[in-house]
A and B are shown apart, each in its own frame.
Chain A
Amino acid sequence: MLGMSANSVSYNEQGSVESGVDAAQENSSIPASISSGGAASSLFSADYKKNEDLKEMLESNKESLKLEAMKRIVGLIAKGKNASELFPAVVKNVASKNIELKKLVYVYLVRYAEEQQDLALLSISTFQRALKDPNQLIRASALRVLSSIRVPIIVPIMMLAIKEAATDLSPYVRKTAAHAIQKLFSLDPDQKEHLIEVIEKLLKDKSTLVAGSVVMAFEEVCPDRIDLIHKNYRKLCNLLVDVEEWGQVVIIHMLTRYARTQFVSPWREDAVFDENSEKAFYDSEEERRVDQSKPYIMDPDHRLLLRNTKPLLQSRNTAVVMAVSQLYWHLSPKHELSIITKSLVRLLRSHREVQYIVLQNIATMSIQRKGMFEPFMKSFYVRSTDATHIKTLKLEILTNLANEANISTILREFQTYVKSQDKAFAAATIQAIGCCATNISEVTDTCLNGLVLLLSNRDETVVAESVVVIKKLLQTQPSQHSDIIKHMAKLFDNITVPMARASILWLMGEYCEHVPKIAPDVLRKMAKTFTDEEDIVKLQIVNLAAKLYLTNSKQTKLLTQYILNLGKYDQNYDIRDRTRFIRQLIVPNEKSGALSKYARRILMAPKPAPVLQSAFKDRDRFQLGTLSHTLNSQASGYLELSDWPAVAPDQSVRNVEVVEPVKEAGAPALSKSKPAKSNEKFYSDSEEEEGEEEEGSNSEDSSSSSSEESVRESESEENSNDSNKSSSSQSEKSSSESDSEKKKKTLKNKKLQQQKPDSKDRKQKNGNAVKVESRSESESGSESSSSESSSESRSELDSDSDSGTDQKKNTKPKPVQSKPVIKVEKKEVSLLDLDDFSPAPVTTPKSSILSPNLLSDLQGLLISPTASALQASSPVFVPETSHELLHRMTGKGLSAQYRFTRQPCIYGNSMVSLQLTLSNRTDQALENIHISEKSSTGQNIHRFNAIERLEPQASVTVSMGVDFNDSTQTANFQLCTKEDEFSVSIQPAVGELLLPITMSEADFTKEQGKLVGMNESSATITITPENVSSQSVNRKVVSVANLGVIPSGQENIYRFAGKTVSSGSLVLVSVALKDPDAMITINTEKTVMGSMLLRQVKTALTNSGP
């Protein structure tokens, strides 16, 4: 009971000082020393005394008393009372065991440490100790308080603590570290450089908990260091959905700025957008069509951002919805903008303050894009219960939305508003009507008549506003409206609002020729009341007088002189000045002859009609959703949104994968094919991600970050190896599980970059690599593996395909053959310019391996074996057979054959790589052999470089890539020589659309378990006796399809695994032998491919023969 009454007392006292007396009565149960304080009568001494009591309580041994005291102190702080003299007493309790007491002490410390710096230092050691506590909550809170103590002397300690916490195992502590960065920065901006290092480190963090906080720190400390974002861009985009909502807002705003510096504008006039891309995102079916002739193709990263932010429009947090909306406004192609409308309109149901901000932004948007909000016009109808500023904003929007079609509805609505009791609002409505009238010429007359009716309104402000608006309207077409002017003159006596009176006078003067009788009369009346008028009215009287004097001097000469005399002695110097000026101007005398000649032209010059425009007209110079936009002036710390760059900066900076120089001579036609291809990649990527997001994106980000590491390593690696161009680098360090996603991504990214580096581009490329490297701390735990000669690798491939298990070790990088390798002696070899890497001249085109095995090997090496899951491997078997592409008869002497190399394609990760052998069977040299630019089918084809000249009887081998989209549809294209064009087509066997992967048996069974039902197809066959041996089963299967062999623990079950080239879907084949039958089971998402493959495997195994 004792404690409880103490409790209530303390609350009372926090409530008001006066209650101290009441409190004292209840205090009886509390130790006497305390109650004496409460009983003190005077306010001043009460405060003083109370603090004395608190001190005693804090110094007592009882925990509960201390806690009580701290609660009361916090109450004092909350009320803004000064409790700083208790500092020594409070600080003693900083190491208390009681967690609530400790927290309250922290509150106190943070509040007063700045004022009591020396004493605050006493507590530092406690925090330093707590920073090492095993409990992450305690570590975090220690860092929080330590960094909140604004005492410059502890800056080094803070710096140290932050650096340590940034590498803490607990993401919560790392998050706290990110917050601490900002605090330290505001305390000591000199630490900037060190802090940026920490930020850089934390930006790589893959925890969703940290992401928002570190981006906040980034925005605060170094918003200009956009280069820190590159490598993390994709990760941030992918993490975004799972970041907590406040972090989302900050990240979205940052990414908006980032995107504006990195991508080209999607708003080009001629831009045609790939509507497919949106569809492809939703349909898991990848019926993608890549049209290469698109004038604008969005950077895949740009698309990634738009796609990943879209679901956030459904967030319950209004700030997130607004942030996404502004992102779309600033970044999306115009035709995609409409998706934000609904969400913004939804926000209008929220609190008054939210409405205010959202309406402001809608007002800005609606000026530029009426269409967006027009269907929702009724949502902007005003209710009588709305706050005034909400009403005005809605009115603004309605005005913006008005067009010929809906103006009558809007005007009817406005009529209700004009009658509103809220007169300020009614006045605003009149302004709005005026705006509509000028904007839409059809209704000008209707509006004008309506406004004239309002002139007889009883309310002064309404009338005044009407006059002002009518004046503006009349200026546009004065001639027809002399009756309105007359009507206004009649009303003049009843109008008292100065602005309105002045407006009428100005109208009279301006159009005095239309109302020749009335104007002088008005002037006569005004002359009588001149002295009683407001200043603006007086000025207009002078004006009117001057104008009448010029047009009708006979009637008004005396009046004018009278008024000018009145004005001359007016108290206001403006009026005196004006009078003097007018007099000199219009009354001819000797001195001012020159100017007065022009008086008429000066005063009666036709005046352009004012443009009635929205107050939100230029608001879009500020980024939407910002404070600056709301205030319509630049707030401190506002970061300008840059314009789109004319040319997109190097997009490869965002790649987080290995950059490998590919030794190939022919520079691919980059400019055209690259964007298209990267687009492709992007979508195939997306599908994988989509599936994954369900499971939480942790695996995702870990994969990306690990791959990030590998980039760094291999890049620095590459750099060091640059001189001798050893064609591969391997890092053994890259850790973390490598699941299929990672695998694919690695592959893709690598390829993305490989498109670039050919020998011509090498210099630039290296420059890049150096740059990247200098940023990263070189964790060169990598070692390079030397390349083996091509002949070796070839022989290995030729050797039997049984090497499945030790493949990883064996198939060391095979050097990439230069291409085109021209068989005819030394012809153009110099073109290849491969100083460091002599291409082993290929003797028989058939056996040459053109695609970079290197790549796949690298992958196997990069991702260490500990990370099991899926690994691409090099093909177990490469069939030698080539297929006819163009017969020499049809080709007029040019013959072409193709074969599948079964290697990952270097041109695009979704392409199947092909090797083309072109032979000249004629007597003349053929010139300029190339594939025509126009592709007749939808497939994306990477052409080989034009062969300038092919000597008679010579042949040349080139490689190309075709994206079959995982279907066996034929790829049709034109093979051209200088003179001729031949239509050719390639029909892939289903087995060629796969890439082998290796995985453990366990993984295999696991994956197989996921792909059941529809995704499974199986058949039982009777196997021919000669096929029963394990070797022959293996050989048969791998010859049919490009699959990897999975080591099997069971005697009679053979397993093979691959993935489709385009979409990367798993294809699992297992053959179970049950003498004499065999059961073939194929599991893949691609059911069509599955059944086709099944048929082929079946045929292979049932047929005898080699």
Chain B
Amino acid sequence: MIHSLFLINNAGDLFLEKHWKSVISRSICDYFFEAREKAVEPDNVPPVIRTPHHYLINIYREKIFFVSVIQTEVPPLFVIEFLHRVAETFQDYFGECSETTIKDNVVIVYELLEEMLDNGFPLATESNILKELIRPPTILRSMVNTITGSSNVGETLPTGQLSNIPWRRAGVKYTNNEAYFDVVEEIDAILDKSGTTVFAEIQGVIDACVKLSGMPDLTLSFMNPRLLDDVSFHPCVRYKRWESERVISFIPPDGNFQLMSYHISAQNLVAIPIYVKQNISFFETGSSGRLDITVGPKQTMGKTVECLVVTVHMPKVVLSANLSATQGTYNYDPVTKILLWDIGKLNPQKLPNLKGSLSLQSGAPKPEENPSLNIDLKIQQFAISGLKVNRLDMYGEKYKPFKGVKYVTKAGKFQVRT
């Protein structure tokens, strides 16, 4: 399956290599560099590259290319999914997945990769198991380790590995037993010039942070489970019960995990919390243009829209922008051609407005397409789909846990065409 892994940064430096079978020379990456050059943007690099004797499957994440070398037929998603899992594990262990942290923790990275794959086949990818095998670095632990000479490597086989609930380790103990659930919904939408919705759907996830002792068996039920159209679950969730009773019954992993994700499709009407009035025009003569954007609340159910940010990818010919914002700050980066307007909280009484002129490269023809606006926003304590958790019950343990549910609505891929 997976022969080797190369980590390559955005500048094209290969900074880590790991082989699970015979060593493959790093010159294999030349094919990747070739494709990388051709693609211009890192996002455009094809995920699967063919070379005469090998296949390179890569992902691009956090400004790092994870390039894996494959020799024989394998489902490409298998590899892609695994690489993402690797990146997530790094993030989990080191707080972020960046070149520096990987370089700083190269030994742990190596130990992790060794445990995650055996002969190219995934061995342990469950974070609870890995954390028992290799303890994540903390300042305190590295201090203790250096003094006592003890190691980061667990001595016993992770309990989860053998049980039929591999995601949870045994013998968990907390003094404060608590379980938090975050219902996070993202609105994916495309609005057209006139403000009508071309397409909108809701992507939701329930993130959980469960710190409960022992082996708790939890049941989460919703007020309106019918809303959930298409779901996918963490392996811990008993699918049969969901099918029959529409409740989520599970023995949770320890710590943070994503319990489920769901999808409320375009068939249901999706409330769009804001509207955008925009007018971007480029003049035929004079190499200039005008920009005027106003944002206002639409269906917010009385909640405040926060963290409102408007991003505009300007055409290449736009050299600079001379604008004035009634609220928030704007910034135009002439290199990446990105106009970023950070509004903050949306005030329904006084609608934020950004207005001004754009100057274009002289002599160049006026751009044909007006740039589309990408919106970012956040509404606290509110799930736009109306989904509500009804109750959380715990069985199997005696103590009374502290429970909490939080709702948040965000803009996902929210785009306004102009």
Contacts and interface: CB of A to CB of B under 8 A. Distances in A.
Interface of A: 1, 3-4, 6-7, 11, 14-15, 63-64, 67, 71, 74-75, 77-80, 98-101, 103-104, 106-107, 111, 114, 135-137, 140, 144, 147-148, 150, 170-172, 176, 179, 182-183, 186, 208-209, 213, 216, 241-242, 244-246, 249, 253, 282, 311, 314-319, 321-323, 342-343, 345-346, 349, 351-354, 356-358, 375-376, 378-379, 381, 383-385, 387-389, 413, 416, 419-421, 457-459, 625-628, 630-631, 633, 635-639, 690, 693-694, 696, 698
Contact of B16 (A78, A104, A353): A78
A637 B73 contact: yes
Q: Is the interface of B mostly helix, strand, loop or mixed?
A: mixed
A650 to B, nearest CB: 30
B55 A172 contact: no
A627 B146 contact: no
Interface in B263-305: 263, 265-267
Contact of A311 (B44, B80, B239, B365): B239
Contacts of A378: 198-199, 266
A342 B229 contact: yes
B127 interface: no
Interface string B57-73: 11111000000001111
A379 B146 CA distance: 53
B125 A246 contact: yes
14 contacts: A6-B146, A100-B153, A106-B114, A111-B23, A135-B157, A345-B263, A346-B230, A376-B265, A379-B201, A387-B44, A421-B367, A458-B365, A630-B76, A637-B71
| 8 residue pairs, one from A and one from B, having the closest CB atoms | A637-B72, A100-B151, A3-B146, A353-B47, A419-B369, A246-B122, A100-B153, A378-B199
Given A14-B106, A627-B48, A636-B71, A690 B240 contact: yes
A385 B41 CA distance: 12
B190 A67 contact: no
Contacts of B106: 11, 14, 74-75, 78
Given A74-B106, A74-B110, A78-B106, A322 B71 contact: no
Contacts of B105: 11
A459 B368 contact: yes
A385 B374 contact: yes
Contacts of B180: none
A343 B235 contact: no
Interface string B154-167: 01110001101010
B240 A625 contact: no
Report which residue of A74, A135, A357 has the largest number of chain B beta carbons within 10 angstroms of its beta carbon: A357
Contacts of A208: 164
Contacts of B146: 1, 3-4, 6-7, 64
Interface of B: 1, 14-19, 21-23, 26, 41, 43-44, 46-48, 50, 55, 57-61, 70-78, 80-82, 84, 103-107, 109-111, 114, 118-119, 121-123, 125, 142-143, 145-147, 149, 151-153, 155-157, 161-162, 164, 166, 188, 190, 192, 198-199, 201, 203, 229-235, 238-240, 243, 258, 261, 263, 265-267, 313, 315-316, 365, 367-369, 371-372, 374, 413, 415, 417
Contacts of B374: 385
A249 B50 contact: no
Contacts of B73: 626-628, 635-639
A529 to B, nearest CB: 25
Contact of B81 (A137, A314, A319, A457): A319
A216 B1 CA distance: 9
A117 to B, nearest CB: 13
Given A74-B107, A246-B125, A316-B235, A3 B149 contact: yes
B40 to A, nearest CB: 9
B350 to A, nearest CB: 30
A78 B82 CA distance: 20
A628 B55 CA distance: 11
A78 B109 contact: yes
A67 B78 contact: no
Contact of B162 (A1, A98, A99, A172): A172
A387 B41 contact: yes
Contacts of B417: 416
B261 A381 contact: no
A696 B164 contact: yes
B119 A354 contact: no
B240 A209 contact: no
Contacts of B161: 172, 209
Given A80-B26, A419-B368, A421-B369, A351 B78 contact: no
B114 A384 contact: no
Nearest to A241: B239
A627 B55 contact: yes
Given A7-B142, A316-B232, A635-B55, A388 B44 contact: yes
Nearest to B373: A384
A474 B394 CA distance: 70
A340 B212 CA distance: 36
Given A179-B121, A314-B232, A383 B22 contact: no
B220 to A, nearest CB: 16
Contact of A698 (B14, B164, B203, B261): B164
B244 to A, nearest CB: 8
A151 to B, nearest CB: 12
Contact of B155 (A99, A282, A693): A99
B233 A458 contact: no
Given A74-B106, A353-B59, A171 B162 contact: yes
B43 A346 contact: no
B389 to A, nearest CB: 19
A341 to B, nearest CB: 10
